[in-house]
Amino acid sequence: MKSRRFKLLHIPASIAVVFGGIWGCDSGRMVQNAQYQRQSTETGSYFDPSRTGYLAPGTSAHARASRTTVAPVGPSEEIWIITPPPDRTGISKRDGVDLLGGFGGDGLVDPLIFDAFDEDATLRDLVDPCGGIIGIPSHRGTSTPAFVPVPLEHTSVEAEISAFVATVDVEQQFHNPYNSKIEAVYVFPLPQDAAVNEFIMTIGERRIRGIIRPREEAEQIYLEARRQGYVASLLEQQRPNIFTQKVANIEPGKRIDVNIRYFHTLAYDDGWYEWVFPMVVGPRYNPPGSNDPINPVSRTGDTRFGGTRGGTNVPYLAPHDRSGHDISLTCEIDAGVNIEEVLCNSHAVDVDARGSSLTRITLSPRDVIPNKDFVLRYRVAGDRIKTAMLTQHDPSKFGGAGHFALMIYPPADLSYIDRRPLEMIFVLDCSGSMEGEPLALAKRAVERALRQLREDDAFQMIRFSDRATMFAAKPQAVNSDTVTRGIDFLNSLSAGGGTRMLDAMDEALDSIEESRCDRDRYIVFLTDGFIGNEDEVLGLMQERLDRRDGHSTRIFSFGIGSSPNRFLLERMAGLGGGVVAYVGLGDSPAEVMDRFIERSSHPALKDISIDFGGMDVRDVQPGRVPDLFAGRPVIITGRYHGEASAEVGVEGVAGTRELSIPVEVSIQEGAISHDGIACIWARSAIAGLENRAMVDDDREIAHVIEELALRYGLASARTSFIAVDGSERTHGAFGTMVPVAVPVPDGVQYQTTVDQ
């Protein structure tokens, strides 16, 4: 029998008592909500209105406040909501769950203690036909949950946001639960623009600062220290958003912490700042022949998907496996202006407003499984805020050069400029990792877009997994018939297979080259981005776009799901002259697509030049200032000599009109300086060099990246952090390498990715 399961919550308490309180909806689909009481003293709620994204369109939800004890839940267990299949035939205890309670289709809690029934009792026997049951994975039968000890016990994240820059401290607490020495290996994500410039290894009370070194040299030092029995740790970058942490010679029962600090800038979209902390690397597909793949493997090392062709292995927990690794997170925002609203669709959080412009957000202890991106949005006062410049200037460093970061806001309204017809090529990822909710979100987003297009627009759809296929031979003019056929095509799509994004990219660019030229042409990728050959895809894209005259085709990317590959998506949009948007599991795809259509309906401000007044500015990053879309500012960074200026002018072209934007740079006493700006500039410069390296095989580029990363103390593809405790050796051989197995991202199916 096939049942639909939604993971509800993870309760780390030794004993928790679950209460009824379930969201239901008229369609019979269930969304997550439960109330619980922890050791009879702490009460919380999982009701989160933002999660109504799970509901089918047009259905209404209703809650029930009553609470009824149904069963005790043990430590490290999860609770599941199980909705019955449409025929309501019986789910029973034989299906591998301990049934805790049920609820009726009208949303009223109808608690049942299933222990009172025998094992053959079915859902149909016990609850309303439109109802569902809640339960925990059974400790009997084939679905017995296994506790998987991993050497990473806890990750602690502390972020401070000032203006549009975040300073983030991540502590990874490693512990050896075994009776012999181990080496812990953990593959984890960080933001794609994270400028990692601090690394400290803590052994007991002793704290040892890691040193940035050329990658090969750091690795050799680590291997030698490991061989000789010294405690050592190594941080290597596999992708701009994927890192590997290795800790050698952890003795039995001992704990070793690793602290990482990084800086990065926040995204800003239509009045909302967004800060993201990724928690898990999604299972990547690597086409045959991929260099340096990111291989998803089972926790036992099985590599049916991805193979053992070198590269980086990411071990995943099976669906019923649970590890003790959890996460805590706090984020302090000092916005400088009033914070009007704080929103977190991805996680349960506690918000503590400490003043009009100061807020502390804490991840709820009820939401501690690190299996999805933490996405925090907050809105600040005012229709639009001033263009802001942050600087860092220490005459004793970097040859006396200062560094700046400037956020440039587009004109508030470009609607007076005529809208040009659009030609939209939607490229949908239908690979196995998109199975379920991610593909459903993508479909709804595209359907919404089709309904928003006008009659002088045109559209095309390309679905891809192991191969790419098109909706029509060429882009179709928009009319009621083509839109209907397009929606039928969408509804026919299902997920499965690999992620051959190169083929899809080729098809999309071929398609657009053959089409009419009097429309603004957009290629819109909707994908989780779970591929391991990012360089190949980005290289092809860059090469094909460079061959064209100008940039008449823009590439936009929509990141779908709970943990999309933001590096790929951001870089695609950046190279393609477009912007990126994300549709998380808790987001409304319609709202996101509406904002996209609204934005793309206005011409972007392009050919931008910046007059820095009296400032002696050099090495501006990115090298080509991105086009400005309505509601989406861009951040540029650079180096300067002399004094920072408060007068900056921006000029550009919107449609056929030349526009000059007076930019008032906000330089407030004491607020303009930030210690992370130099690192952020260097990280941006490295990203620009990496883009060049994708299409230019010049070895000098790698050398420049290394030099830059060493000078600014940054982890990069060419540099790694190494820390060795040279004061004492541990006893015996260096022991077994133990990878830290991680859960697949929320909403992603293990069976269609890792277990493919």
Is 255 among the residues that bind another protein (CB under 8 A)? no
Which one among 151, 713, 735, 745 touches another protein, defined by CB under 8 A?
A: 713
Residue with Cβ nearer another protein (218 or 630):
218
- We find the least distance from the C-beta atom of residue 398 to another protein, in angstroms, to be 8
Which one among 200, 406, 569, 579 touches another protein, defined by CB under 8 A?
A: 200
d(CA 289, CA 693): 20
Q: How big is the chain by its Cα radius of gyration, in Å?
A: 26
Is 263 among the residues that bind another protein (CB under 8 A)? no
Which one among 63, 148, 211, 659 touches another protein, defined by CB under 8 A?
A: 211
DSSP code of 53? G
- We find the least distance from the C-beta atom of residue 653 to another protein, in angstroms, to be 41
Residue 86 makes CB contacts below 8 A (sequence gap 6+) with: 28
d(CA 441, CA 560): 7
Is 727 among the residues that bind another protein (CB under 8 A)? yes
Residue with Cβ nearer another protein (230 or 681):
230
Contact 647, 420 (CB under 8 A): no
**Local structure of 332: helix, strand or coil:** strand
Residue with Cβ nearer another protein (403 or 566):
403
The 153-192 site mask, x for binding another protein (CB under 8 A), equals: ----------------------------------------
Q: What is the DSSP string of 140-153?
A: SGGG--EEE--SEE
Nearest partner of 394 among 614, 710, 675, judged by Cα: 675
**Local structure of 183: helix, strand or coil:** strand
Is 230 among the residues that bind another protein (CB under 8 A)? yes
Which one among 170, 196, 221, 266 touches another protein, defined by CB under 8 A?
A: 221
- We find the least distance from the C-beta atom of residue 674 to another protein, in angstroms, to be 17
- We find the least distance from the C-beta atom of residue 689 to another protein, in angstroms, to be 18
Q: Max Cα separation, the chain?
A: 82
Instruction: Kindly indicate which of the ranges 179-187, 204-212, 356-364, 381-389 contains the residues binding another protein, using the contact rule CB under 8 A.
Output: 204-212
Render the burial of 327-345: b for 16+ CB within 10 Å, e for the rest.
Answer: bebbbbbebbeebeebbbb
Nearest partner of 732 among 181, 250, 175, judged by Cα: 181
d(CA 533, CA 242): 13
Residue with Cβ nearer another protein (591 or 700):
700
d(CA 698, CA 704): 10
Is 196 among the residues that bind another protein (CB under 8 A)? no
Residue 418 makes CB contacts below 8 A (sequence gap 6+) with: 655
- We find the least distance from the C-beta atom of residue 708 to another protein, in angstroms, to be 11
Residue with Cβ nearer another protein (514 or 728):
728
- We find the least distance from the C-beta atom of residue 728 to another protein, in angstroms, to be 4
Angle between the 534-547 and 677-695 helix axes, to the nearest 10 degrees?
70
Residue with Cβ nearer another protein (474 or 729):
729
Residue with Cβ nearer another protein (62 or 729):
729
- What are the backbone angles phi and psi of residue 568, rounded to the nearest 5°? -60, -45
Instruction: Kindly indicate which of the ranges 152-160, 202-210, 400-408, 619-627 contains the residues binding another protein, using the contact rule CB under 8 A.
Output: 202-210
- Amino acid 72 reads P
Q: How many residues bind another protein (CB under 8 A)?
A: 30
Instruction: Kindly indicate which of the ranges 82-90, 228-236, 506-514, 560-568 contains the residues binding another protein, using the contact rule CB under 8 A.
Output: 228-236
Which one among 29, 38, 213, 674 touches another protein, defined by CB under 8 A?
A: 213
Nearest partner of 88 among 26, 30, 1, judged by Cα: 1
Is 429 among the residues that bind another protein (CB under 8 A)? no
Report the DSSP pairing between strands 520-527 and 553-560: parallel
Residue with Cβ nearer another protein (145 or 713):
713
- We find the least distance from the C-beta atom of residue 232 to another protein, in angstroms, to be 8
DSSP code of 159? E
Is 258 among the residues that bind another protein (CB under 8 A)? no
- What are the backbone angles phi and psi of residue 357, rounded to the nearest 5°? -115, 5
Residue with Cβ nearer another protein (309 or 711):
711
Render the burial of 200-217: b for 16+ CB within 10 Å, e for the rest.
Answer: bbbbeeeebebebbebee
Using CA atoms, how far residue 369 sits from 145, 327, 334, 348, in Å, is 16, 6, 27, 12
Residue with Cβ nearer another protein (208 or 575):
208
Instruction: Kindly indicate which of the ranges 205-213, 327-335, 457-465, 522-530 contains the residues binding another protein, using the contact rule CB under 8 A.
Output: 205-213
Which one among 37, 162, 173, 228 touches another protein, defined by CB under 8 A?
A: 228
Is 250 among the residues that bind another protein (CB under 8 A)? no
- The count of other CB atoms within 10 Å of the CB of residue 350 is 12
- We find the least distance from the C-beta atom of residue 180 to another protein, in angstroms, to be 17
Which one among 340, 649, 726, 751 touches another protein, defined by CB under 8 A?
A: 726
Contact 9, 34 (CB under 8 A): yes
d(CA 706, CA 702): 6
Report the DSSP pairing between strands 402-408 and 388-392: antiparallel
d(CA 18, CA 497): 39
Is 628 among the residues that bind another protein (CB under 8 A)? no
Is 212 among the residues that bind another protein (CB under 8 A)? yes
Which one among 209, 304, 467, 624 touches another protein, defined by CB under 8 A?
A: 209
The 374-413 site mask, x for binding another protein (CB under 8 A), equals: -----------------------x----------------
Angle between the 534-547 and 566-575 helix axes, to the nearest 10 degrees?
10
- We find the least distance from the C-beta atom of residue 723 to another protein, in angstroms, to be 5
Is 225 among the residues that bind another protein (CB under 8 A)? yes
Residue with Cβ nearer another protein (725 or 746):
725
Is 545 among the residues that bind another protein (CB under 8 A)? no
Is 548 among the residues that bind another protein (CB under 8 A)? no
Residue with Cβ nearer another protein (272 or 398):
398
Is 257 among the residues that bind another protein (CB under 8 A)? no
Is 595 among the residues that bind another protein (CB under 8 A)? no
Is 703 among the residues that bind another protein (CB under 8 A)? no
Instruction: Kindly indicate which of the ranges 129-137, 372-380, 487-495, 721-729 contains the residues binding another protein, using the contact rule CB under 8 A.
Output: 721-729
Residue with Cβ nearer another protein (85 or 400):
400
Nearest partner of 134 among 35, 13, 47, judged by Cα: 35
Instruction: Kindly indicate which of the ranges 144-152, 175-183, 225-233, 598-606 contains the residues binding another protein, using the contact rule CB under 8 A.
Output: 225-233
- Amino acid 563 reads S
Is 207 among the residues that bind another protein (CB under 8 A)? yes
Nearest partner of 381 among 273, 274, 276, judged by Cα: 273
Is 120 among the residues that bind another protein (CB under 8 A)? no
- What are the backbone angles phi and psi of residue 482, rounded to the nearest 5°? -65, -35
DSSP code of 548? S
Give 627: exposed, middle or buried? Use CB within 10 Å, 0-12, 13-18, 19+. buried
Residue 83 makes CB contacts below 8 A (sequence gap 6+) with: 3, 4, 6, 28, 29, 30, 132
Can you read off the two tokens belonging to residue 79?
A: 């609770």
Residue with Cβ nearer another protein (609 or 727):
727
Is 712 among the residues that bind another protein (CB under 8 A)? yes
Residue with Cβ nearer another protein (399 or 670):
399
Using CA atoms, how far residue 351 sits from 169, 363, 420, 606, in Å, is 20, 9, 43, 39
Q: Which residues bind another protein (CB under 8 A)?
A: 200-201, 206-213, 217, 221, 224-225, 228, 230, 232, 397, 710-713, 722-729
